[in-house]
Amino acid sequence: MCSLIDIVDLSTAEIDELIEKACDIIGNPSAYSQKCAGKRLATLFFEPSTRTRLSFEAAMYDLGGTVIGFSDSASSSASKGESVADTARMVSCYADIIVMRHPKEGAPLVASMKAGVPVINAGDGGHNHPTQTLTDLLTISREKGRLSGMTVGLCGDLKFGRTVHSLIVALARYEGIKIVLISPEELRLPEYMIQNVLGKSGMDYVETKDMDSVIGSLDVLYMTRVQRERFFNEADYIRLKDSYILTPDKLAHAGDSLCIMHPLPRVNEISVAVDDDPRACYFKQAMYGKFIRMALILKMLEIES
Amino acid sequence: MIIDAIKNGVVIDHIRAGMCMEIYRILDLERLACSVAILKNVSSRKMGKKDIIKVDEMFDIDLEVLGYIDPNITVSIIKNGEIAEKRKLELPDKVTNVIKCKNPRCITSTEQELPHVFRLTDRENRIYRCIYCESKPG
């Protein structure tokens, strides 16, 4: 029995296998519609989520399984002071697999140590969110036809954005990836990421504050939200916030095959006017999230094709 | 200053000057009923100054904890007034309940009786990280 807590728990071969499986499910969903018949997934969401919870639930239903769970801690025994370990141990009496989101970093790891069933981390605070990374990798693979030999731009909050950090860690395994880091000075990628991941992997990278100057060179543009609360003063936020909003004007400099991604929710960092552009892939990305989670559930439950 | 040689016991030597009380506390030497000598600021050719702890009785010594504090510390087991064994210390791969995670966002801050476990992630730079939240001790 294994759990998925961090994207580094998966080997590159396993990630490639999951992507391959997800593609097979996309191509032939009916072949998988009863694969999890008789199996039950528990979604333990100690904080609210829209995409992650619904995509896991949709994934399990589309595999023929059933779902139990709660969508916020107020409706669980956590509100009575029950520990994560006890909750996990108790729920594993009722379910074959647990998906957990928790505001505390490391909570899903604690659950995996005590539960008798596989645990999938669906986000632990600002720490890990491995299924978002798998979703991102599937999206790039589907939209670009490969995971190597491309230039990936990451734009916005590169300092605190966990999805950006995990994606860089995952992409570092593939050949010929060039990373373009686009952010204001205040939200640059942390030094430990530059040294320990980009530096150690030998991945080619550049840092810039100017999206316009690099957008034409990108195969993938991964947008994130620049949040007001990350700035020390309001003036800096007001000065910088519009520099990182993707608009049709900015896209005029981009290539025809650019793949625009965003982990969602989007606030204003991508103009609604971009949504109908064929290069906008962020809603497809949300759709791919369900398929990669279907592949993951099958793997965790050791259900063969 | 003269401290009698011990006949059967443990000598913890080459402790960085000023660290002996910390080691005394972490190894919980308070619990021992035997003589325990704490020597501070002893002259050392190699270290300039060092601390030494001599315990006049055999006891179970937690080498992992000592290795975490300083792998250069030496531990000698004394039997019949002679060094019977010198134990080599290493940086342990993990330490449990030696240091506390201080990250308020970590599950250790709320989960009842959860052991605080730190894993060695960078041997060269002696960096340990909490297994739950990956924070460094601080």
Provide the annotated active-site residues of A.
51-52, 80, 101, 129
DSSP secondary structure string for all residues of chain A: ---B-SGGGS-HHHHHHHHHHHHHHHH-GGGGTTTTTT-EEEEEESS--SHHHHHHHHHHHHTT-EEEEESSGGGSGGGGT--HHHHHHHHTTT-SEEEEEESSBTHHHHHHHH-SS-EEEEEETTS--HHHHHHHHHHHHHHHS-SSSEEEEEES-TTT-HHHHHHHHHHTTSTTEEEEEE--GGGPPPHHHIIIIIIHHT-EEEEES-HHHHGGG-SEEEE----GGGSSSHHHHHHHHGGG-B-HHHHTTS-TT-EEE--S--SSSB-GGGTTSTTB-HHHHHHHHHHHHHHHHHHHTT---
- Rounded Cα distance between B55 and B32, Å, is 9
Chain A positions touching B108 (Cβ under 8 A) are 106
Give the best residue of A105, A112, A197 to mutate against chain B (max B CB count within 10 A): A105
Residues of chain A contacting B, Cβ within 8 Å: 83-85, 102-107, 109-110, 124-127
When the candidates are 3.40.50.1370, 3.40.50.10380, 2.60.40.10, 2.60.40.1080, the CATH number that belongs to A7-128+289-300 is 3.40.50.1370
- Mean pLDDT score, A166-172: 95
> Is the Cα torsion angle A222, A144, A151, A254 positive or negative in sign?
negative
Give the best residue of B124, B133, B135, B136 to mutate against chain A (max A CB count within 10 A): B133
ipTM of the complex: 0.89
> Does the pLDDT of residue A261 top 80, yes or no?
yes
Q: Tell whether B85 is within 8 A of chain A (Cβ).
A: no
- Rounded Cα distance between A160 and A186, Å, is 11
Strand B117-122, strand B94-96: pairing: antiparallel
Mean pLDDT (chain A) is: 93
Asked if B53 and B23 touch (Cβ cutoff 8 Å), the reply is yes
> Does the pLDDT of residue A137 top 70, yes or no?
yes
Which residue does chain B place closest to A107, by CA atoms?
B107
In angstroms, the first-to-last Cα distance of chain A is 18
- The CATH 3.40.50.1370 portion of chain A extends over 7-128+289-300, 131-285
When the candidates are 3.20.20.150, 3.40.50.300, 3.30.70.270, 3.40.50.1370, the CATH number that belongs to A131-285 is 3.40.50.1370
Tokens of B75: 């531990």
- CB atoms closer than 10 angstroms to residue B90: 13
Chain A positions touching B107 (Cβ under 8 A) are 84, 102, 104-107, 109-110, 124
- Mean pLDDT score, A5-22: 97
pLDDT score at A305: 65
Nearest by CB to B110, from A104, A124, A127: name it: A104
CB contact under 8 A, B111 and A83: yes
Chain A positions touching B104 (Cβ under 8 A) are none
Nearest by CB to B111, from A85, A124, A127: name it: A85
Provide the pLDDT confidence category of residue A185 given band limits of 50, 70 and 90.
confident
Give the best residue of B96, B107, B122 to mutate against chain A (max A CB count within 10 A): B107
Asked if A295 and A26 touch (Cβ cutoff 8 Å), the reply is no
User: Å from A54 to nearest chain B CA?
Assistant: 25
| Domains of chain B: residue spans and CATH | 9-87 (3.30.70.140), 94-130 (no CATH)
CB contact under 8 A, B105 and A84: no
Give the best residue of B109, B118, B125, B132 to mutate against chain A (max A CB count within 10 A): B132
User: Å from B27 to nearest chain A CA?
Assistant: 28
pLDDT score at B3: 64
> Does the pLDDT of residue A231 top 80, yes or no?
no
Residues 6+ apart with CB under 8 A from B78: B6, B7, B8, B9, B10, B11, B84
CB contact under 8 A, A106 and B107: yes
Residues 6+ apart with CB under 8 A from B46: B14
Q: What percent of chain A has pLDDT over 90?
A: 79
pLDDT score at A177: 97
CB contact under 8 A, B131 and A125: no
**Span B74-117, pLDDT tens digits:** 999 999 989 999 998 999 999 999 899 999 999 999 998 999 99
Q: Tell whether B132 is within 8 A of chain A (Cβ).
A: yes
What pTM value is reported for the model?
Answer: 0.89
Identify any residues that bridge with B82 across adjacent strands, giving them in sequence order.
B79
Q: Tell whether B131 is within 8 A of chain A (Cβ).
A: yes
User: Å from A92 to nearest chain B CA?
Assistant: 19
AA identity, residue A47:
E
Q: Tell whether B111 is within 8 A of chain A (Cβ).
A: yes
Nearest by CB to B132, from A83, A103, A105: name it: A105
pLDDT score at A155: 96
Tokens of B28: 């919980």
User: Å from A196 to nearest chain B CA?
Assistant: 11
- Rounded Cα distance between B58 and B82, Å, is 13
Q: Any idea what the Cα angle at residue B74 is, between residues B68 and B80, rounded to 5°?
A: 135
**Span B28-71, pLDDT tens digits:** 999 999 999 999 999 999 899 999 999 999 988 888 889 998 99
Residues 6+ apart with CB under 8 A from A185: A209
Asked if A104 and A124 touch (Cβ cutoff 8 Å), the reply is yes
In this structure, of A57-66, A67-76, A85-94, B81-90, the range with the lowest mean pLDDT score is: A67-76
- Rounded Cα distance between A191 and B112, Å, is 34
CB contact under 8 A, A84 and B130: no
